[in-house]
Copies of this chain bind each other. A is one copy, B any other.
Amino acid sequence: MPKTAKEVKDEKGITAEKDEFSEWYTQAIIKADLADYSAVSGCMILKPYSYAIWEIVVNECDKRFKKLGIKNAYFPLFIPESLLRRESAHIAGFNPEVAWVTEAGNTKLNERLAIRPTSETIMYDSYAKWIRSWRDLPLKINQWNNVVRWEFKHPIPFLRTREFLWNEGHTVYASKEEALKEEKQILGIYNEILRDYMAIEGFISRKTESEKFAGAEFTKAIECVLPNGRVVQGPDFHHDGQIFSKSFNIQFLNKEGKKEHAWQNTWAITTRMIGVMLAIHGDDKGIVIPPKLAPIQAVIVPILFDKTKEKVLKEAEKLKDSLKEIRIEVDAREEYSPGWKFNDWEMKGVPLRIEIGPKDIEQEQVVLARRDNGKKETVKIKDAENKVKEMLDSIQEEMLKKSEKKLKESMVSVKTMAELEKEIKNKKVAVAEWCDSRDCEDWIKTKTQGAKIIGINEQQQAKGNCVHCNKKAKHVIYIGKSY
């Protein structure tokens, strides 16, 4: 017995509107079958549907990394405490959220082992042994792995979990100049993945001294703005200068036979970005996945009546076979009504739905329904192949345009603290100018009740005065609340 729309809504539809962001987000994720809570507090399960998205992100990044001559490796999950403590700024940053192994079997360990929150220390200990001369450089190694940061705040699927998946690139160069060239390459790759795959427009900013990565000389990140105005730090690039090479004694003989400390970078993209993507594109009906990342790009829903069932299913399968290049499924389940299925696939964010019924077959046509804007179009079956591809391209493009528009709308220029406080309350990201003092940075945080300087806009030159102290400004900055 097919269920009514009412029953569906009661049973599994999303009951929150997107404006109630927190509630909407959790429902949309869980009900789309992307993730689930686990028996470990703060750790989530990536179910097959979200893991398939992650696999596409990994493959696309990985291909590009490899073209740059970056090679994958695998270093241990554990870091001896003494090693983690070797770089003082680094341990200060991570210490509060390290998970510690203290026992194995029935034995108490002599030294605590950290579960890697990031792998600088375990990797650079080896780098110091492997690097002898300029011939060993550049050394460009990446890892795809799991890391643990024991957050004590309320967990949010993808966005804030104690364990997450990521890549961590760790490269070593013979000169600062060479190392710095990598910034454009890596942030270029990440930006391409965000724009062309995730359909997300972010903005690149340089972190302030107090917000940069623990142990870095500087940090740049692609920042993304969620519908609730919160800013999430997306993929990032850290230039570590010689900070770690000095703590870990990574030295090489240069061409003149002299010893020098090497120059290092690290960079990462995480499963957090899946959450960002879902948050940005979703609507009241649930999530919307951009076609290039969608595990299922199109779903064919055959309209089944007893008499014509066989014929319609046959046509549906034929259509599917003609669309081999795209990731497509036929929903032939008989226990659900077409209306139920429409809701179900919308909730799962599948970019395109293809409806085919007995009347359509008579007229040699199918109906294409876009998930992003709900528009329907009737097309001839013979044109379906081209039309479907065109429409997927168009959806991908429109989603990015929408994201660009939203980003623009989320930003407001402010000149005074009063304006700043108002716009932060309005859930905006404020663009202001700043004198570069830590004191003003702290005051901004206090007076906005938790908004912070997200980062510095390096593309623009400051012309006016600091939003807080009114002295001559040094930087154009972004201010917002973050996760």
Binding site for B on A (CB under 8 A): 36, 38-40, 43-48, 51-52, 54-55, 71-80, 83, 95-107, 112-113, 115, 122, 125-126, 129-130, 135, 141, 145-146, 148, 150, 152, 163, 165, 335
Q: List 16 A-B contacts (CB under 8 A).
A: A36-B130, A39-B79, A39-B125, A40-B78, A43-B76, A43-B77, A45-B73, A48-B71, A48-B72, A54-B74, A76-B163, A99-B101, A101-B102, A102-B102, A103-B112, A146-B146
**Of B51, B79, B115, B335, the contact of A101 (CB 8 Å cutoff):** B115
**Of B48, B75, B96, the contact of A45 (CB 8 Å cutoff):** B75
Task: Give the docked Cα–Cα distance between A354 and B113 (Å).
Answer: 47
**Of B43, B44, B130, B152, the contact of A105 (CB 8 Å cutoff):** B152
Residue ID in chain B nearest A78 by CB atoms: B40
**Of B38, B48, B76, B103, the contact of A141 (CB 8 Å cutoff):** B48
Residue ID in chain B nearest A44 by CB atoms: B76
Task: List B contacts of A52 (CB < 8 A).
Answer: 71-72
Task: List B contacts of A107 (CB < 8 A).
Answer: 152
Task: Give the docked Cα–Cα distance between A146 and B115 (Å).
Answer: 12
Task: Give the docked Cα–Cα distance between A79 and B41 (Å).
Answer: 10
Are A48 and B36 interface neighbours, CB within 8 A? no
Are B48 and A122 interface neighbours, CB within 8 A? no
| For the complex of A and B, 7 pairs with smallest distance between CB atoms | A48-B71, A43-B76, A104-B150, A46-B74, A100-B103, A40-B78, A99-B104
Residue ID in chain B nearest A150 by CB atoms: B104
A174 to chain B, nearest CB (A): 16
A77-B115, A100-B103 known, 19 other contacts, Cβ within 8 Å:
A39-B79, A39-B122, A40-B113, A45-B74, A45-B76, A45-B126, A48-B71, A48-B72, A55-B72, A77-B146, A96-B105, A96-B106, A99-B101, A100-B101, A100-B102, A101-B101, A101-B102, A107-B152, A146-B146
Report if A40-B122 is in contact (Cβ < 8 Å); known contacts: A45-B74, A74-B165.
Answer: yes
Task: Give the docked Cα–Cα distance between A106 and B152 (Å).
Answer: 11
Task: List B contacts of A39 (CB < 8 A).
Answer: 76, 79-80, 83, 122, 125-126
Task: List B contacts of A73 (CB < 8 A).
Answer: 45-48, 51
Task: List B contacts of A45 (CB < 8 A).
Answer: 73-76, 126
Are B78 and A163 interface neighbours, CB within 8 A? yes
Task: List B contacts of A40 (CB < 8 A).
Answer: 76, 78-80, 113, 122
Task: Give the docked Cα–Cα distance between A77 and B115 (Å).
Answer: 10
Are B102 and A98 interface neighbours, CB within 8 A? no
A6 to chain B, nearest CB (A): 21
A280 to chain B, nearest CB (A): 22
Task: Give the docked Cα–Cα distance between A18 and B99 (Å).
Answer: 42
Are A76 and B145 interface neighbours, CB within 8 A? no
A476 to chain B, nearest CB (A): 36
Task: Give the docked Cα–Cα distance between A105 and B79 (Å).
Answer: 15
Are B122 and A38 interface neighbours, CB within 8 A? yes
Residue ID in chain B nearest A100 by CB atoms: B103
Most B CB contacts (10 A, CB to CB) among A44, A73, A102 go to A73
Task: Give the docked Cα–Cα distance between A107 and B145 (Å).
Answer: 25
A52 to chain B, nearest CB (A): 7
Task: List B contacts of A163 (CB < 8 A).
Answer: 76-78
